């Protein structure tokens, strides 16, 4: 991922993602989709199945999750995450949404829309 000054075109920073794919078929550490900027951070889905949130000021990884696993869906079925491609992550009402699974062009297929929130540990 690159940070570029909009007015001057000056390259501010480059983040190179570690290649964690090993022998995993159809895996690639790069970013194929648009990223999502939110106050103080940038959300990026990677072709290696990782969803990462980067600090906007210095590019450090603030949070990441590996979506290459099975999920129980709201309907009770089983879905599986994969590469991120196509549509970018989005944020609505403060919650990030991301579509994991992109089997086009020899990447890792999947079929889940993931919604993230802050765990509520309070008893009610």
Q: Which long-range contacts (CB under 8 A, 24 or more apart) does 73-80 make?
A: 73/112, 79/110, 79/111, 79/112, 80/109, 80/110, 80/111, 80/112
Structural domain contains residue 78: yes
Structural domain contains residue 124: no
Structural domain contains residue 37: yes
Count the domains in the chain: 1
pLDDT of residue 106: 85
Structural domain contains residue 121: no
Residue 118 has pLDDT above 80, yes or no: no
Structural domain contains residue 24: yes
What is d(CA 124, CA 105) in angstroms, rounded to the nearest whole number?
Answer: 48
Structural domain contains residue 123: no
Structural domain contains residue 79: yes
The enclosing domain of 72 has a CATH number of: 2.40.10.480
pLDDT of residue 110: 93
Average pLDDT over residues 106-123: 83
Lookup: tokens for 27: 């895996």
Give the structural domain span for 101: 2-115
Structural domain contains residue 69: yes
pLDDT of residue 87: 86
């Amino acid at each position: 991922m690159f940070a570029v000054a909009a007015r001057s075109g000056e390259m501010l920073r480059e983040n190179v993602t570690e290649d964690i794919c090993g022998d995993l078929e159809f895996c690639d550490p790069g970013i194929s989709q648009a990223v999502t900027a939110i106050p103080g951070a940038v959300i990026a889905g990677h072709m290696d199945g990782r969803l990462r949130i980067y600090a906007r000021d210095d590019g450090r990884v603030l949070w990441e999750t590996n979506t290459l696993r099975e999920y129980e869906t709201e309907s009770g079925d089983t879905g599986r995450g994969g590469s991120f491609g196509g549509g970018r992550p989005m944020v609505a009402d403060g919650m990030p949404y991301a579509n994991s699974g992109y089997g086009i062009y020899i990447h890792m297929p999947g079929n889940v829309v993931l919604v993230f929130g802050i765990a509520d540990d309070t008893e009610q």
